[in-house]
Amino acid sequence: MEAMLYERVDSAVKCNLCGWRCTIQPGKKGICGVRENRGGVLHTLVYGKAISYAVDPIEKKPLYHFHPGSTAFSIATVGCNFKCIFCDNWSISQDRGIKGEDLPPEDVVSMAKNAGCQSISYTYTEPTIFFEYAYDTARIAHREGIHNTFVTNGYMTPEAVDTIDGYLDAATVDFKGSGDPEFYRSFCKVTNTEPIYQSLLEMKQKKIFIEITNLIVTGGGDSKEAFLKLVRWIIDNLGDDIPLHILRFFPSYLYTSSPPPPVSFLEELWKISKSEGLKYVYLGNVPGHKYENTYCPRCNSLLIERLGFEVGSIRLKGRRCAFCNEEINVII
């Protein structure tokens, strides 16, 4: 299938979907491994080819402030535009083969609807690289009253965000190592992190609901200085009510030499975030921790109780705290 968002440059094509903006010669593929120049036409190789799908709690994305307690139909294809050496889903994200079950967009929506899901989440690998599949599915989903969410590394172009605007309702943007450029170069083989920030600004401008995760990786992705810089960027550019999830790294794929960071260190980062002024900060991959819960930023009352991905009581009146009437950045 012909891809979206590209231009011809003589016999080559320039892909304008993600921050790499690959110039692809005839017969070659982009960095993602799933977009190929065939005779001067850019093709997506993974349209309708689902490598994984499941019904998940939306908290697993994680999205804590977007329809909490609901379920999401999660779907992915093979491929990714990053090469993170610690990737949890490396078996499908780094697979250079084109494989997957034939599952057209209308079937994805039907499965989501039959499962009672309020949303479809394009996740597990990187939704940007299966953009056409996600785009067509998202359009059908909206007609059926189903929301759409991306779980993304954020390496999208403003053109991609603009194209899917109106169909993408929320996004979890995943930082690794607090966005430290040197960490991205060494651990993800990404030479320029600026596109992540550009896409976030574009999402904000388009009023796409945003939550941010930050994976704290021992041995390179655990700089307090980089963490503080990211927190301040979020507050200054996106707002102090953007939910931030501080995620605990566990050894995986090619990076198994370092242990997970101590929970006490993550708690310290949580305190830094709060002291800087972020209203909603969470610890992830620490099941049972009190910082999985949502607290009112004004009166500190427990508003949404969680244990892992399970939601207990919700103490809200619409979008307001049930105790002090403070407005909460949440979509119910």
Structure-block tokens of residue 174: 């995943």
321 labeled part of a ligand binding site: no
Write the pLDDT tens digit of every residue in 197-256: 999 999 999 999 999 999 999 999 999 999 999 999 999 999 999 999 999 999 999 999
Per-residue pLDDT of the chain (332 residues; tens, 9 = 90+): 999 999 999 999 999 999 999 999 999 999 999 999 999 999 999 999 999 999 999 999 999 999 999 999 999 999 999 999 999 999 999 988 999 999 999 999 999 999 999 999 999 999 999 999 999 999 999 999 999 999 999 999 999 999 999 999 999 999 999 999 999 999 999 999 999 999 999 999 999 999 999 999 999 999 999 999 999 999 999 999 999 999 999 999 999 999 999 999 999 999 999 999 999 999 999 999 999 999 999 999 999 999 999 999 999 999 999 999 999 999 99
SS (H, E, C) the chain: CECCCEEEECCEEEECCECCCCEECCCCECCCCCEEEECCEEEECCCCEECEEEEEEHHHCCCCCECCCCEEEEEECCCCCCCCCCCCCHHHHCCCCCCCEECCHHHHHHHHHHCCCCEEEECCCCHHHHHHHHHHHHHHHHHCCCEEEEEECCCECHHHHHHHCCCCCEEEEEEEHHHCHHHHHHHHCCCCCHHHHHHHHHHHHCCCEEEEEEEEECCCECCHHHHHHHHHHHHHHCCCCCCEEEEECCCECCECCCCCCCHHHHHHHHHHHHHHCCCCEEEECCCCCHHHCEECCCCCCEEEEEECCEEEEECEECCEECCCCCECCCEC
pLDDT at 102: 98
32 labeled part of a ligand binding site: no
pLDDT at 325: 99
Distance CA 151, CA 73 (A): 12
pLDDT at 96: 82
pLDDT at 196: 99
Distance CA 128, CA 171 (A): 12
80 labeled part of a ligand binding site: yes
pLDDT at 300: 98
Spell out the domains of the chain, with CATH numbers in brackets: 6-44 (no CATH), 49-291 (3.20.20.70)
